[in-house]
Structure 1
Amino acid sequence: MKGLEIAYKFYEEYGREMIHTMFPQYENKIAAGLVGEGSECFGFDDYISRDHDFDPGFCLWITEETEKEIGFSLYRAYGKLPKEFMGVKLMGQSFFGTGRKGVLEIGEFYSRFTGRKGVPQSLLEWLYLPEHSLACAVNGQVFKDDGGEFTAVRNQLLAGFPEDVRKKKIAARAVIMAQSGQYNYERMAKRGEFGAAAMALAEFIRAAVSMIYLLNNRYTPYYKWMFKGARQLPVLASTAEQVEKLAQRSDNCQKEIENICIDIIEELKHQGLTAGSWDYLEPHAFEIMDRIKDFGIRSLHVMEG
């Protein structure tokens, strides 16, 4: 059973009753679910995941006002819930595993991922936020949110990047893919600089995966879940599988790189982001830049973002 399902059952059996019994007047002010860091929040957990930072816990999100009124009491009540459920208990906690579950103030929860108590307030903020942080902010599941404050922010983030920011990032990925994969990879290999060629291929792979997520208007998760998530995307999932195979190759794979770029270019055209006929990705990047409406974003270096 996946961690999300365990968390939901734990909440239904113990969390809901605890809130109903001890904080009845706040039942409609406490949101519950499981969102954030951890493989279980993405639904990617397996038996290996359970050796650390994995327990049956869940999140209780409250407003700043509610925190002032019952925060400490709610925190203590959560802490008294069973430490084991359905045979699952915390086997070990890493330095980075604390504070992921339990009672969380809504603004503080989102500030961990967006840098402010809600959604980014400018296009530049959106542009420079790490995609994996945004992926953590919108994954998982909300079990209950009668007040709607937590879900209101979540829904805005789930809408994806503002279109000018998405175009800017797509342009940046296109240039990196062109320079690292279509240009430098084979040139460095021919020179016998195999370490540099491997680095070029790695740059191409990372940019290509991010490009695929951007063309799905989704946020790219942390590197260890990039491919697993990409296989489930509605657009270019088969291309993502081709990119993943590159990471396992040790021989020359220039042909595969070019095939992946062809797929990307076709999707760029399909989404109306470019109309050029070039096989090389770099000129497409500059055409995409020309389609950005915001002057400030359009004026940035093509590789920024």
Structure 2
Amino acid sequence: MSGTSRARGYWEQVVRPLVVDRWPGLGYAAGRLGSGSDVLGLDDGTSTDHDWGNRLTLLVDADRVADVDAWLEDVLPPAFDGLPTRFATTWSPQVRHGVDVASVAGFVHSRLGVDATAPLEPSAWLGLTGQSVLEVVAGDVFEDVAGELTAVRERLAWMPHDVWLAVLAGEWAAIAQELPFVGRAGERGDDLGSRVVAARLVERTVRLGFWLDRRWPPYAKWLGTLHARLPRASVTAAPLGRALAADDWRTREAAIVEALETLHDLQRDTGLPAAASAVVPFHTRGFAGVGDVPELLRDAVDDAGVRAWSAGTASVEQWATSVPVLMDPTARSRVAAAALGPEPRRGPDA
């Protein structure tokens, strides 16, 4: 049984009857949200060794959170469907029930570090990671009586167009910074260095595919799995795999170039700014470089402030690599805010 199926049964057979009987007319939303492979529908037998079991997200009015949480601790049965309803987790040694009771605003803030119950400023979008958004939008919602959670999930379905262009420009710019090094390191006999750069570029190209297909990228463990399910960009898996397996830098570089040109064609087909070719010679050295794709995307941004960000500090997960920072909504938001500076003026150029 998948974690989501277990959560649905736990809600329908145990938690919902108790809550509705105790608080008739209560506005709530219930589902399997937050962390865990089951939220992405990717759990299997290996997933059950920690933080897996009778888990559920129950969102109620803020003034009811403490009462509902404490009451469930008192009245929930000791087990459901062969597993305990109270257990410790990797983030808390306390043995207690696995129903995450919160308000919609509180739950969303705990994942994103911002209030997404209202429209977000551009700088707030750039402080999000794909994984943090997936923890809000990817899991199954069993019921949403109040409708507030559904509204938040619709708002987070994808970023605004200008922010999207900025993120794409930032990814292409980052690729441009290192693409020539695959050949340069290889030419000097540094095969390990060439492989390291190639691996970094493969990851960036995978993420570029997510951005172009308007899908939020998960954290590293599931990046390849969900990349294979992308509607268009998944076709780059074959050349990217060849790039990682190649024993010489020329084959390695050629495979990455093939993937980049494929994504550039998808970008053009989407109606986004594109050049004649994504890849151009890097000066006269005989290595591949990126053309003016980042600049074309940045120039298409209407908001002057967002256009400035795309030059070097786009989405925080494009330039921050510390896992503890990326997992901590408060730290992530502070780092992003510090890098982006004060909120610039909004609107198109006069």
**TM-score surpassing 0.5?**
yes
TM-superposed deviation, 1:31:
1.1
% identity of equivalent residues: 25
Amino acid at match of 1:3: G
Q: Which runs of 5+ in 2 are unaligned?
A: 280-289, 315-350
Decide whether the 8 Å contact of 1:171 with 1:289 is kept in 2: yes
* Larger fraction in strand: 2
TM-superposed deviation, 1:241:
5.1
Which residues in structure 2 correspond to 1:287-298 (within 5 Å)?
Answer: 287-298=296-307
- Give secondary structure in 1 for the equivalent of 2:142: strand
Decide whether the 8 Å contact of 2:186 with 2:248 is kept in 1: no
**2:81 counterpart of 1:86:** yes
Q: Which runs of 5+ in 1 are unaligned?
A: none
Decide whether the 8 Å contact of 2:191 with 2:248 is kept in 1: no
Separation in 2, partners of 1:96, 1:74 = 16
Shifted more, 142-151 versus 188-197: the winner is 188-197
Separation in 2, partners of 1:128, 1:242 = 31
Which residues in structure 2 correspond to 1:10-29 (within 5 Å)?
Answer: 10-26=10-26, 29=27
Separation in 1, partners of 2:268, 2:108 = 35
Separation in 2, partners of 1:97, 1:239 = 43
Q: Which residue of 2 aligns with 1:286?
A: 295
Q: Which residue of 1 aligns with 2:286?
A: none
Which residues in structure 2 correspond to 1:10-159 (within 5 Å)?
Answer: 10-26=10-26, 29-67=27-65, 71-77=66-72, 80-89=75-84, 93-95=89-91, 101-118=99-116, 121-158=120-157
Shifted more, 279-288 versus 206-215: the winner is 279-288
Decide whether the 8 Å contact of 2:167 with 2:310 is kept in 1: no
Residue of 227, 230, 235 corresponding to 2:227: 230
Separation in 1, partners of 2:47, 2:239 = 26
Separation in 1, partners of 2:55, 2:71 = 14
TM-superposed deviation, 1:198:
3.1
- Give secondary structure in 2 for the equivalent of 1:24: coil
- Give secondary structure in 2 for the equivalent of 1:31: strand
Amino acid at match of 2:146: G
* Alignment RMSD: 2.5
TM-superposed deviation, 1:245:
5.5
Separation in 2, partners of 1:96, 1:87 = 22
Q: Which residue of 2 aligns with 1:219?
A: 216
TM-score by length of 1: 0.88
TM-superposed deviation, 1:96:
7.1
Separation in 2, partners of 1:139, 1:100 = 19
Decide whether the 8 Å contact of 1:51 with 1:91 is kept in 2: no
Q: How many aligned residue pairs are there?
A: 298
TM-superposed deviation, 1:277:
0.8
**2:168 counterpart of 1:170:** yes
Distance 1:165 1:194, change over 3 A: same
TM-superposed deviation, 1:107:
1.2
Decide whether the 8 Å contact of 2:62 with 2:102 is kept in 1: no
Distance 1:282 1:171, change over 3 A: farther
Decide whether the 8 Å contact of 2:59 with 2:102 is kept in 1: yes
Shifted more, 138-147 versus 293-302: the winner is 293-302
**2:196 counterpart of 1:199:** yes
Decide whether the 8 Å contact of 2:166 with 2:298 is kept in 1: yes
Amino acid at match of 2:222: W
- Give secondary structure in 1 for the equivalent of 2:273: coil
Decide whether the 8 Å contact of 2:169 with 2:310 is kept in 1: no
Decide whether the 8 Å contact of 2:298 with 2:310 is kept in 1: no
TM-score by length of 2: 0.78
Amino acid at match of 2:305: G
